[in-house]
A and B are shown apart, each in its own frame.
Chain A
Amino acid sequence: MNTILSYLSSAREIENSPPEGLIPVNVAFLSTLTADLIHPYLVVEGVKRGMFLRAYFSPFNQLEQQIFDKSSSLYKFKPDVVIIATYTEKFDSMRLGRLITELKQSTTATILVFNHTGLAAALTNERLTKACQQFEGTYIFDYAQLVYNFGFYYWYDPKLWYLGRIPFGANAQRELGQQLARYIHALHFPPHKCLVLDLDGTLWGGVLGEEDGIELGEDYPGNVYKDFQRRLLALSNQGVLLAIASKNNEADTISTLQNNPDCILRPRNFAVIKINWQDKATNLRAIARELNISLDALAFFDDNPVEREWVRSQLPEVAVIEVPESPLAYIRALEESELFDQLVISEEDRGRTRLYQDEQERKQLQTISIEEFIQQLDMMVTVGFVNSETLPRVVQLLSKTNQFNLTTHRYTSSEVQSMIKSGAVALWIRVADRFGDLGLVGVAIAIPERPGRWIIDTFLLSCRVIGRYVETALLNILSQVVHDRGGQVLLGRYIPTPKNTPASKVYSDHGFEAVGEFWKWDFSKGKIPPPKFLRVRFENG
């Protein structure tokens, strides 16, 4: 099969009649190299990931010309993503900063910046990274890592470079198209929340409790498993929850996890541990329930093909990773699953496992009435205006909150910023209780539709705090701010999805009146009352 032929003809077919249900994304390239050849690869790899990518390639080496001219074809194209791909040591971070500043004034597109290959580029790349961090919605596309992964001689075809300033050969064009589609996918789809792992044959070799003992250590094959555990720990530090579903003797297993000197993952690294003789589908359902996440947020990694098939047949929503026979290929399989891709990692992500463990302890208190329970929790909520510091976490919540989400509007950071610029009120809410800090867990955005009349565009809470009157606190402050800005009525809407029933009664519970598809709060009644058992603090300013 000729790869180039098949990609070109598939891309043509897709563009002639795009399949239904794809997310359309306009991708603009600005470059000092010729990137046009990757077009068919980008289109085909985009469709594989649920997106219809339309690409615009600006003429060679026209960065400033396209960005500073407000009537340029770049802006006419209305890009959702702008890719800046440069291929020279002279491209410095000062120039990049000027380009991005200007771009940000004229478009809400997310920006991806190619870094550079080669040892000499290390310093340049560090500066490019720092420059990108100055801006919301701007990320490095790690081109250097990609070329390193495949090797320069595989990647580069000198004839294409000298004929057309194309720094990637035929094979590399496919890899690059695929990696770009992967980044763009990560901008539009949330990562999976929890990775459920087996133990024997997955976290270590051999079978625990059998005479030979397990394989885990500094020499082959134990070092393969040990490194896999290190990779999993890194994933956990990025905010992915780890869980165990294993058919084993629980006491022996926990003792190994606690005491084996070569075990990198300890019981505290797992949000839920299910070690029993029940079938794995049952355990996966229980894990989802305990973490209060839906089944489609779970991924499953088990070396046993029978278990994988069972889970696939019982729980089609769960992402079952195709585990290779040899543990040597585990890390790559995990990486190529693309299930945990995300471009920003927030402070909350880093501490997530501990947050969920606290939640389990909280639940053990729950044998009293809900009011008593909440009083005992000694909750303190803080509300504030969304600013550059809180924006990354806010955008993350917008992109991944499904259950307690009234409208399920997904916005990029640039879109949120431009809403605020045009007068919207955007609030975040943090929650702490006697068990610890739950972090930033909710967002509300209200838009002045016309004088006196405000619409709640977005109202969401992380599922960690459902049922604790946090929404009452957020509505209370939101109504106060809207009223201060001259609001006379506040209108909200509940847009049902297959997942957001937990949020369906918010407005009726808080005394809003039904008016057609809207719920109305009239400020002649005053503002929305605060919750009884929570201390609410408003960081105004």
Chain B
Amino acid sequence: MKMDRVYYIISEILGIPLDEINNGIEWDSLTHLHLILALEAEFGVSLPPEDIMTMLSVQQIQIILRKHGVEV
């Protein structure tokens, strides 16, 4: 369920329909910060810069969120 929420957030922040979100999708650095802040607010976590800099794909986002205890 929570991962559906991750897809939903990525889709809303990028302005791309949910079913078009896949692991190859990219975004610019400004959108990246909006996305990180939205994920932090959504899951109540605070992500360190080292992790933020690696969260550049849907899969990486999932991995890092799991590392911070977000259930998937």
Question: What residues make up the interface of A, taking CB atoms closer than 8 Å to B?
Answer: 2-5, 8-9, 12, 36-37, 40, 159-160, 162-164, 166, 169-170
Contact = CB atoms under 8 A, between A and B. Distances in A.
Contact of A8 (B13, B29, B52): B13
Contacts of B42: 2, 5
B12 interface: yes
Interface in B31-49: 33-34, 37-38, 40-42, 48-49
Across the A-B interface, the 7 shortest Cβ-Cβ residue pairs: A4-B38, A170-B37, A5-B12, A12-B15, A36-B30, A9-B12, A2-B42
Interface string B46-64: 0011001000000000000
Contacts of B9: 2, 5
Given A37-B33, A159-B49, A163-B49, 8 more contacts: A4-B13, A4-B34, A5-B38, A8-B13, A37-B30, A40-B34, A159-B48, A164-B33
Interface of B: 9, 12-13, 15, 29-30, 33-34, 37-38, 40-42, 48-49, 52
A163 B47 CA distance: 12
Contacts of B41: 2-4, 170
25 contacts: A2-B38, A2-B42, A4-B37, A4-B41, A5-B9, A5-B38, A5-B42, A8-B13, A8-B15, A8-B34, A8-B38, A9-B12, A9-B15, A12-B15, A37-B33, A37-B34, A40-B34, A159-B48, A159-B52, A163-B33, A163-B49, A163-B52, A164-B33, A166-B33, A169-B37
Contacts of B33: 37, 160, 163-164, 166
Contacts of A162: 49
A387 B48 CA distance: 56
Nearest to A170: B37
Contacts of B40: 170
A169 B34 CA distance: 11
Nearest to B53: A163
